Structure 1
């Protein structure tokens, strides 16, 4: 999977480093624009390992690691396991978020509440995820997790408004499925637009949560 991005020799050395740290069952998982992604086990815990791509000059994992640590008390994203550097390449290891990305998940009402509550929490903290609207960074399982804070920063946030727009207001695969499942009609969408305007003005998500409770 990664043969054209990293040499077998360097990959072998990286695996050896991980083995020395106690990680086992290391497997290639996916590739991003700036990272190579692996799964592994640490004791009985499933983890995700992100290694900076050798062809990427961007080094964002140190900041992402700090953000994940800052969020640990709030159960928004899986906990950080390790951050380090290997032959000049950053790597970040976190616990695996069990579930499916929102694009494929069968959303229940409790998931919608949890998405709203956790994105509103990020807003209150002043942390903007930056990629909520794409849908690939919300994991739905027994609990909801937001993942991949590589592009996040402490700036004016718009997490809740982005999430509600993606799930309800925009015309996409996710919103069409949600509208069909919950029988959502135009009146609900207009009320959601109104409550989002109130939220932008006041920072209070109570109107949005009350609207979700009617589904």
Structure 2
């Protein structure tokens, strides 16, 4: 499945390298645009291991690792465990985000509120994720996790919360349709949300948005 992207010898060496780092039971999980993704265990916990693809169009694990370090302790994204280079390729290890991607999860009101709070926190920290609107980078489990900061930036103006609210309620997509039906959302709510988001862009005050979500 991945022989054209990594040879058996390279894969064996990578497994051995990870084992020396304390990462065991390494198994292939999926292919990303820039990486080969593996599951493993570190100190009894499941972890994600990303290894740069040889045909990657860009190198950005270092930037992602730096942003994960900035977010340590904020309960927004799983903790970074390790970052480095092996054989000229970058790798990154982080804790596994337990749960389902937003697209497939059964959302409750507290999930919507948590998404708002965590995307707001990113805005306050000056970090723009860049891919919030797609939904697949938000994981719903016992907690809400935002993952994959490969395209994140501290230079762009953050718009995480507005992107998330547009995806969840305002845009036409499978996620918003499901949420509107479940919570019986009417045009009045959507109108008030648009007004609240407009104000948020100016003052970064999340309270009106949280009040609206709390009313669902």
TM superposition score category, shorter chain reference: over 0.9
| Alignment match, 2:191 | 190
- Correspondence for 1:166: 167
Residues 5-24 of structure 1 aligned to structure 2 (within 5 Å): 5-24=5-24
Question: How far apart are residue 117 of structure 1 and its match?
Answer: 0.2
User: Pairwise mapping of residues 26-175 of structure 1 onto structure 2 (< 5 A)?
Assistant: 26-154=26-154, 155-175=156-176
* Cα separation, 1, equivalents of 2:22 and 2:129: 31
Q: For 1:6 and 1:84, how far apart are their aligned partners in 2?
A: 18
1:130-172 CA deviation, whole Å, 9 max, x = no partner? 0000111000000001000000011210000000000000010
State the Cα RMSD in Å: 0.8
TM-score (ref. length: structure 2): 0.98
1:43 CA displacement: 2.2
TM-score relative to the length of structure 1: 0.98
SS in structure 2 at match of 1:73: coil
Q: CA deviation at 1:57?
A: 4.7
Distance 2:43 2:118 in 1: 29
SS in structure 1 at match of 2:47:
strand
Give the structure 1 partner of residue 181 of structure 2: 180
1:165-209: CA deviations, max 9, x gaps?
000000100001101111111111111111100101111011100
**CA distance in structure 1 between the aligned counterparts of 2:36 and 2:213, rounded to whole angstroms:** 38
Unaligned runs of 5+ in 1: none
1:66-96 per-position Cα deviation (integer Å, ceiling 9, x unaligned): 1001101211100000001110000000000
Distance 1:85 1:178 in 2: 42
Q: Runs (4+) of structure 1 moved beyond 2 Å?
A: none
- Structure 2: segments with no counterpart, 5+ residues: none
